[in-house]
Amino acid sequence: MERMVADFINFLSVEKGLARNTLESYQRDLRAFTGYLRQSGVTGFQETSRHNIVGYLATLQKNGKAKATLSRNLASIRSLFQYLAQERLVPENPSADLESPKPDRKLPRVLTPQEVDLLMEQPNCSQSTGIRDKAMLEVIYATGIRVSELISLDLEHINIESGFIRCRGKGNKERIIPIGSLAVRHVENYLAGCRGRLVRNGNESALFVNQHGKRMTRQGFWKILKKYAREAGINKHITPHTLRHSFATHLLENGADLRSVQEMLGHADISTTQIYTQVTRSRIREVYEKTHPRA
């Protein structure tokens, strides 16, 4: 089973061009599923039944996993068996008629504009790392890109003169996103000399690098964000995605149309973007109840 999973992951990488993070997600899901099958006495995918898959999902649910996690695992399993059936490695696809549980859609956690300002004030711009951190924070909030997209940016992906960045998102799809003058200015400050002091290899193409002169990592940016959120006194649980959520919500609050926000976020389906309109309505209601004398 492990060999078949490895072949499937290679297929997703070579034929589908999926991102490394997506491939790792498939691997984790299928490794856990394979472990469950072995514990259940199933020695191969050829003998895996619909009952086995339902049992695995029931175990995940019993262990307190969210509906979204169940849906993702089922999607991984379904994709695997579609591949195996196409390659005629299994007699049939036991996941074919299984429906995904509808996840409970929670409103995204966002920062207020005032909290964003507080966060942006924290980097110490008398230091090279502070100037870099300021540029990273400004770029991710100004564009709404994912942290994986931020750290994947190369020097050639940003056009200072035109005020645009070019990035590749899920499914290796490329999109062009405008970047505000404030973020551009801080990137210019970073490129003017700070990046040169951090980079040790002249051939390094990454826009944002760490203290060792190599491409910034997801974990590295996460630690930076946590540090500044703590120093700003922001008590909310903040992740890099919080800035993406805040970007979309603040645009809609200030009159941006949904289609434009969808395009900038790189959402394939506008229904994914519509969740931010609920956040906006929720915030309007909160302001009304706090400020209206007869609320």
List the catalytic residues: 146, 170, 241, 244, 267, 276
Question: Two tokens at 135?
Answer: 């540029």
Question: Two tokens at 12?
Answer: 């997703």
Question: Two tokens at 228?
Answer: 């500044």
**Residue 103 to residue 71: CA distance in whole angstroms:** 7
Is the Cβ–Cβ distance between 224 and 130 less than 8 Å? no
The CA-based angle 47-101-73, given to 5 degrees, is: 50
How far the first Cα of the chain sits from its last, in Å, is 61
**Residue 205 to residue 203: CA distance in whole angstroms:** 6
What is the three-class DSSP state of 131? helix
**Residue 153 to residue 168: CA distance in whole angstroms:** 9
Distances (CA, A) of 226 to 15, 207, 217: 37, 21, 14
Helix (H) / strand (E) containing 241: helix 240-253
Please choose, from the candidates 265, 170, 158, 266, the residue with its C-alpha nearest in 3D space to the C-alpha of residue 208: 158
Helix, strand, coil percent values for the chain (each to nearest 5): 60, 5, 35
Q: What is the DSSP string of 12-26?
A: HHHTS---HHHHHHH
Is the Cβ–Cβ distance between 145 and 177 less than 8 Å? yes
Number of H helices, E strands in the chain: 14, 3
